[in-house]
Amino acid sequence: MLSTSLLLVHPLRLAGPGDQRLITDALNTSPGWGRDRSSDGTLRFTSPCRTAIITGGPATGRPDAWTVHGYRSPGSAPLWRASFAPGTPAEITAAFTTTLVHGLRSGHRDFLHGGPHHLPRTPASVLADRGWRPDQSTPGFHDQVAPDQTAVYRHRIGHQPPDAEVAGRTPPTWSMLAGNLRNPSWRADFTTAVPFYPLVRATLLFSSPAPVERRRCDIPAHHLPHLTARPAPRSRPAAPATPAAARPAPAAARRR
């Protein structure tokens, strides 16, 4: 099979980074968001209220690494941090960032209890419903392990100073780890005070059984034995649109 062959693969968490335009296109078209690129290539997106900043690009080590910082007010110290390491599927990062963008428009109200987009679920309940089993063999953490043993959702037990957590001096409150559980292929970390609704949306993608499209050459080789893959169906070319002037007139018009 050609290395550029397009495949449908699942689970998503092992499919490779994918198309980063899923992240950047949504941010580029979000009204009011500031956008700039530094001399080293880092992309920086700032929310209209200046309480969220999303950064990514070559300066992070790889273009598929992203970090989100949340602030209580403009110019204050960071309140929370979400980070997506190189290798994180773009669909998972985009689920978090896009949901956050929409939530900030209403001051989070649309996604909270009573809002039109509220999901009455937690990451733990999403995973439990999909058969992820609890595991407490790692001291200081409560884990939920994927049925195929290729991923862990980790919840740190106990309190840590929030500023130390945001600065990376203490372990994050929640983590997604995929691949070899002793040496994960990628990870995403979330500190305390992260808005829960984008985290739930990201968890839905992290545990999703739905297939996604990837070129074979873009799938990490060490993940291939753990993936289910099949050739993607060839898309049919769209039928040419009929110009309005050439379309048959409605029956009533013909009678007239």
| DSSP string for residues in 1-26 | --TT-EEEEE-GGGS-S--THHHHHH
DSSP lists the bridge partners of residue 144 as 134, 153
Mean pLDDT along residues 150-169:
94
The model's pTM: 0.88
Token output for 180: 């070899």
- For 5, 6, 10, 56, 209, the CA distances from 232, given in Å and listed in that order, are 8, 6, 12, 30, 16
Local confidence band at 246 (pLDDT 50, 70, 90 cut-offs): very low
Rg for the chain, CA atoms, rounded? 21
Domain ranges (residues) in the chain = 17-233
Token output for 47: 């929310």
DSSP lists the bridge partners of residue 72 as none
Instruction: Return mean pLDDT, the chain.
Output: 88
Local confidence band at 129 (pLDDT 50, 70, 90 cut-offs): very high
At 76 the pLDDT is: 95
Element (H, E) at 36: strand 34-37
Long-range contacts at 24-30 (CB < 8 A, ≥ 24 apart):
26/94, 26/97, 26/98, 26/101, 27/54, 27/97, 27/101, 30/101
